[in-house]
Amino acid sequence: MHCPFCAHDDTRVVDSRIVDDGEAVRRRRECPVCGQRFTTYERADLAFPMVVKADGRREPYRQEKLLAGLRRALSKRPVSTAELDLALRKIEKQIRSHPEREISARRIGDLVMSALRELDPVAYVRFASVYRRFDDLHAFSSEIQALLDPGNDAESSNDGD
Protein backbone atom coordinates (compact mmCIF):
# COMPACT_ATOMS: atom_id res chain seq x y z
CA MET A 1 0.00 0.00 0.00
CA HIS A 2 1.32 3.45 -0.93
CA CYS A 3 1.72 6.07 1.79
CA PRO A 4 -0.98 8.75 1.31
CA PHE A 5 1.41 11.39 2.75
CA CYS A 6 4.69 10.88 0.89
CA ALA A 7 3.65 8.30 -1.77
CA HIS A 8 6.33 5.81 -0.69
CA ASP A 9 5.42 2.50 -2.31
CA ASP A 10 5.43 0.36 0.82
CA THR A 11 4.01 0.64 4.33
CA ARG A 12 3.97 -1.75 7.22
CA VAL A 13 0.97 -2.97 9.21
CA VAL A 14 1.23 -1.98 12.88
CA ASP A 15 -2.10 -3.43 14.07
CA SER A 16 -5.05 -5.39 12.58
CA ARG A 17 -8.50 -5.83 14.10
CA ILE A 18 -11.79 -7.34 13.01
CA VAL A 19 -14.56 -4.69 12.96
CA ASP A 20 -18.23 -4.34 11.95
CA ASP A 21 -19.19 -7.73 13.37
CA GLY A 22 -16.62 -9.54 11.26
CA GLU A 23 -17.55 -7.69 8.05
CA ALA A 24 -14.22 -5.83 7.77
CA VAL A 25 -10.60 -5.69 8.92
CA ARG A 26 -9.16 -2.43 10.25
CA ARG A 27 -5.43 -2.02 9.74
CA ARG A 28 -3.18 0.64 11.29
CA ARG A 29 -0.26 1.27 8.95
CA GLU A 30 2.97 3.21 9.23
CA CYS A 31 5.23 4.58 6.52
CA PRO A 32 8.92 3.71 7.11
CA VAL A 33 10.04 6.84 5.24
CA CYS A 34 7.95 9.70 6.70
CA GLY A 35 6.75 7.93 9.88
CA GLN A 36 3.09 8.94 9.35
CA ARG A 37 0.38 6.53 10.47
CA PHE A 38 -2.97 5.94 8.79
CA THR A 39 -5.87 3.50 8.88
CA THR A 40 -7.21 1.29 6.10
CA TYR A 41 -10.28 -0.94 6.01
CA GLU A 42 -10.55 -4.17 4.11
CA ARG A 43 -14.05 -5.37 3.14
CA ALA A 44 -15.37 -7.94 0.73
CA ASP A 45 -16.60 -6.26 -2.44
CA LEU A 46 -19.93 -7.99 -2.90
CA ALA A 47 -22.23 -7.21 -5.77
CA PHE A 48 -25.75 -6.06 -5.06
CA PRO A 49 -28.67 -7.17 -7.22
CA MET A 50 -30.22 -4.68 -9.66
CA VAL A 51 -33.24 -2.80 -8.30
CA VAL A 52 -36.46 -3.17 -10.29
CA LYS A 53 -38.65 -0.09 -9.91
CA ALA A 54 -42.47 -0.18 -9.91
CA ASP A 55 -42.57 1.00 -13.54
CA GLY A 56 -40.22 -1.81 -14.63
CA ARG A 57 -37.05 0.28 -14.92
CA ARG A 58 -33.87 -1.30 -13.59
CA GLU A 59 -31.12 0.60 -11.83
CA PRO A 60 -28.08 -0.28 -9.76
CA TYR A 61 -28.49 -0.37 -5.99
CA ARG A 62 -27.29 2.87 -4.41
CA GLN A 63 -26.52 2.97 -0.70
CA GLU A 64 -26.79 6.76 -0.56
CA LYS A 65 -30.42 6.57 -1.73
CA LEU A 66 -31.33 4.07 0.99
CA LEU A 67 -29.43 6.06 3.60
CA ALA A 68 -31.22 9.29 2.59
CA GLY A 69 -34.60 7.60 3.07
CA LEU A 70 -33.61 6.28 6.48
CA ARG A 71 -32.27 9.68 7.54
CA ARG A 72 -35.46 11.45 6.42
CA ALA A 73 -37.60 9.06 8.43
CA LEU A 74 -35.31 9.32 11.47
CA SER A 75 -34.97 13.11 11.31
CA LYS A 76 -35.02 14.62 14.82
CA ARG A 77 -35.57 11.20 16.40
CA PRO A 78 -33.46 9.87 19.31
CA VAL A 79 -31.60 7.28 17.22
CA SER A 80 -27.80 7.25 17.29
CA THR A 81 -25.58 7.12 14.24
CA ALA A 82 -24.37 3.70 15.39
CA GLU A 83 -27.97 2.41 15.46
CA LEU A 84 -28.59 3.85 11.98
CA ASP A 85 -25.39 2.23 10.65
CA LEU A 86 -26.38 -1.10 12.16
CA ALA A 87 -29.85 -0.92 10.57
CA LEU A 88 -28.29 -0.01 7.21
CA ARG A 89 -25.86 -2.94 7.40
CA LYS A 90 -28.71 -5.30 8.32
CA ILE A 91 -30.83 -4.15 5.36
CA GLU A 92 -27.87 -4.38 2.96
CA LYS A 93 -27.04 -7.88 4.20
CA GLN A 94 -30.62 -8.94 3.41
CA ILE A 95 -30.43 -7.32 -0.04
CA ARG A 96 -27.10 -9.03 -0.83
CA SER A 97 -28.44 -12.40 0.30
CA HIS A 98 -31.43 -12.10 -2.07
CA PRO A 99 -31.20 -15.26 -4.19
CA GLU A 100 -31.86 -13.54 -7.52
CA ARG A 101 -29.84 -11.02 -9.54
CA GLU A 102 -32.70 -8.51 -9.28
CA ILE A 103 -34.75 -7.28 -6.32
CA SER A 104 -37.89 -5.18 -6.42
CA ALA A 105 -37.85 -1.70 -4.94
CA ARG A 106 -40.97 -2.78 -3.06
CA ARG A 107 -39.02 -5.58 -1.36
CA ILE A 108 -36.33 -3.10 -0.31
CA GLY A 109 -39.06 -0.81 1.02
CA ASP A 110 -40.45 -3.71 3.06
CA LEU A 111 -36.98 -4.38 4.51
CA VAL A 112 -36.69 -0.69 5.46
CA MET A 113 -40.16 -0.78 7.05
CA SER A 114 -39.19 -3.80 9.11
CA ALA A 115 -35.93 -2.20 10.28
CA LEU A 116 -37.64 1.09 11.17
CA ARG A 117 -40.40 -0.72 13.02
CA GLU A 118 -37.76 -2.18 15.35
CA LEU A 119 -35.73 1.03 15.55
CA ASP A 120 -38.26 3.83 16.11
CA PRO A 121 -42.08 3.72 15.82
CA VAL A 122 -42.40 7.38 14.79
CA ALA A 123 -39.84 6.95 12.01
CA TYR A 124 -41.68 3.79 10.94
CA VAL A 125 -44.98 5.68 10.60
CA ARG A 126 -43.25 8.55 8.76
CA PHE A 127 -41.73 6.17 6.25
CA ALA A 128 -44.95 4.15 5.94
CA SER A 129 -47.00 7.26 5.20
CA VAL A 130 -44.86 8.00 2.13
CA TYR A 131 -44.02 4.43 1.12
CA ARG A 132 -47.58 3.13 1.32
CA ARG A 133 -49.09 6.38 0.02
CA PHE A 134 -51.90 6.63 2.53
CA ASP A 135 -55.01 7.96 0.80
CA ASP A 136 -56.91 9.03 3.87
CA LEU A 137 -56.80 9.40 7.62
CA HIS A 138 -58.33 5.93 8.11
CA ALA A 139 -55.37 4.22 6.37
CA PHE A 140 -52.95 6.24 8.49
CA SER A 141 -54.90 5.36 11.65
CA SER A 142 -54.94 1.66 10.71
CA GLU A 143 -51.15 1.65 10.39
CA ILE A 144 -50.73 3.25 13.81
CA GLN A 145 -53.20 0.78 15.32
CA ALA A 146 -51.25 -2.13 13.83
CA LEU A 147 -48.09 -0.69 15.36
CA LEU A 148 -49.76 -0.47 18.78
CA ASP A 149 -51.24 -3.98 18.47
CA PRO A 150 -48.42 -6.30 17.31
CA GLY A 151 -50.85 -9.24 16.99
CA ASN A 152 -52.63 -7.41 14.17
CA ASP A 153 -49.80 -6.85 11.68
CA ALA A 154 -50.62 -4.26 8.97
CA GLU A 155 -47.60 -5.37 6.92
CA SER A 156 -49.24 -8.72 6.20
CA SER A 157 -52.29 -7.00 4.73
CA ASN A 158 -50.09 -5.15 2.22
CA ASP A 159 -48.00 -8.01 0.81
CA GLY A 160 -46.02 -6.95 -2.18
CA ASP A 161 -43.53 -9.59 -3.22
Specify the pairing of strand 102-104 against strand 50-52: parallel
- Give every CB contact of residue 36 below 8 A, 6+ residues apart in sequence: 3, 5, 6, 30
38 vs 17: CA distance, rounded Å = 14
Q: Phi and psi of 3, rounded to 5°?
A: -70, 125
Q: What is the pLDDT along the chain (161 residues), one digit of tens a residue?
A: 999 999 999 999 999 999 877 888 999 999 999 999 999 999 887 788 999 998 999 999 999 999 999 999 999 999 999 999 999 999 999 998 888 999 999 999 999 999 998 899 889 888 887 877 666 667 767 777 777 776 654 444 444 44
Contacts of 12 by beta carbon, 8 Å cutoff, 6+ apart: 29, 30, 32
